[in-house]
């Protein structure tokens, strides 16, 4: 099992920069990159705010925060980010063609020993591995949103993945303070999202047929099943655009109309109402900037948006 000291994170969006910061706080040397200079800048600003905030709350010492900040850098190109990396974690859009393109580039600009992991929540690594010359070192390492909080990491060992690659990634997850779970074979949606998908399908079925409001469905799941938030509130958090992209990617793969995103998701996507990131999704998130406040419907501080 190879030792991992340097990690490259590709994609500095909400998932990417949080994964990068998790790794930096665990002592890894991290380089994070993104094609968007604006996203990269916002990611760095998040780190500059988050670490002092943890110190103020007593969750980190000044020294721990200082070390974590020194461990993470934000760089403008894939070549700079991947140079010298022992592990690369890709956290870009859920589009297979784009991922294959990025992995092909990573194969050329990262060291031969580097493990290339995708954070994809649905696309299995066997659909990406042959874009590289190292299929045994390509696998899924799936974090959950928000990555700084959620403990579980799904490691998926497809038939092409070397045992040493899976073992190394599991060890890295543990060093990051996560709880890794190993899937011994590839399956669409992995563990958590297969279970969550079943809940979401039922939630949309109930809502779109007028059985109950989305607010009451969320309340029932929170107070009846003990979930921290209901399916509609959770989709606002993770992004309705992500739900749309995942559904469309699956539909293009299978051709099965039942795999299309639910009509309610399509309507929100067309309107550009993606959830917290846009200030409006199934709920509204008003603050002084009209952007996400991050509150949960159970606490009464969000408002349902116009849905139909």
Tally of CB atoms within 10 A around 306: 8
Catalytic residue list contains 193: yes
Are the beta carbons of 131 and 164 closer than 8 angstroms? no
Please provide the DSSP assignment of 59-125 as one string. Answer: SS-HHHHHHHHHHEEEES-HHHHHTT-SEEEE---S-HHHHHHHHHHHHHHS-TT-EEEE--SS--G
Catalytic residue of the set 94, 154, 186, 273: 154
β-pair partners for 75: 33
Annotation says 17 is catalytic? no
Which member of 126, 145, 193, 293 is catalytic?
193
Q: What residues does 90 pair with on adjacent strands?
A: 10, 118
113 catalytic, yes or no? no
Q: Find the catalytic residue in 110, 119, 120, 121.
A: 121
Question: Which residue out of 17, 94, 142, 305 is catalytically annotated?
Answer: 142
CA distance 62 to 137: 37
Q: Which two tokens stand for residue 52?
A: 């002092």
Catalytic annotation present for 108: no
Would you name the residues annotated as active-site residues?
A: 121, 142, 154, 193
């Amino acid at each position: 099992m190879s030792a991992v000291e340097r990690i490259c994170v590709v994609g500095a969006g909400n998932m990417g920069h949080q994964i990068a910061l998790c790794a930096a706080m665990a002592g890894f040397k991290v380089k994070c990159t993104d094609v968007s200079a604006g996203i990269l800048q916002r990611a760095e600003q998040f780190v500059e705010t988050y670490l002092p905030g943890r110190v103020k709350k007593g969750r980190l010492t000044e020294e721990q925060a200082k070390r974590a900040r020194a461990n993470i850098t934000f760089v403008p190109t894939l070549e700079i980010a991947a140079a010298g990396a022992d592990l690369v974690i890709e956290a870009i859009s859920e589009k297979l063609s784009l991922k294959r393109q990025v992995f092909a580039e990573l194969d050329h600009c990262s060291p031969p020993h580097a493990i290339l992991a995708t954070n994809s929540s649905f696309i299995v690594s066997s659909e990406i591995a042959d874009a590289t010359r190292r299929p045994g070192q390509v696998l899924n390492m799936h974090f959950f949103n928000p990555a700084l909080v959620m403990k579980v990491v799904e490691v998926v060992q497809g038939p092409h993945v070397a045992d040493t690659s899976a073992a190394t990634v599991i060890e890295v997850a543990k060093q990051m303070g996560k709880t890794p779970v190993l899937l011994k074979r590839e399956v669409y949606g992995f563990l958590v999202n297969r279970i969550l998908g079943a809940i979401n399908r039922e939630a949309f079925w109930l809502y779109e047929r007028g059985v109950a409001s989305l607010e009451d469905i969320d309340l029932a799941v929170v107070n009846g099943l003990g979930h921290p938030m209901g399916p509609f509130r959770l989709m606002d958090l993770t992004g309705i655009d992500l739900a749309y992209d995942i559904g469309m990617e699956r539909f293009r793969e299978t051709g099965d109309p039942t795999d299309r995103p639910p009509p309610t998701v399509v309507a929100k996507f067309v309107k550009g109402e993606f959830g917290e990131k846009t200030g409006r999704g199934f709920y509204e998130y008003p603050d002084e900037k009209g952007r996400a406040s991050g509150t949960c419907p159970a606490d009464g501080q969000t408002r349902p948006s116009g849905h139909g």
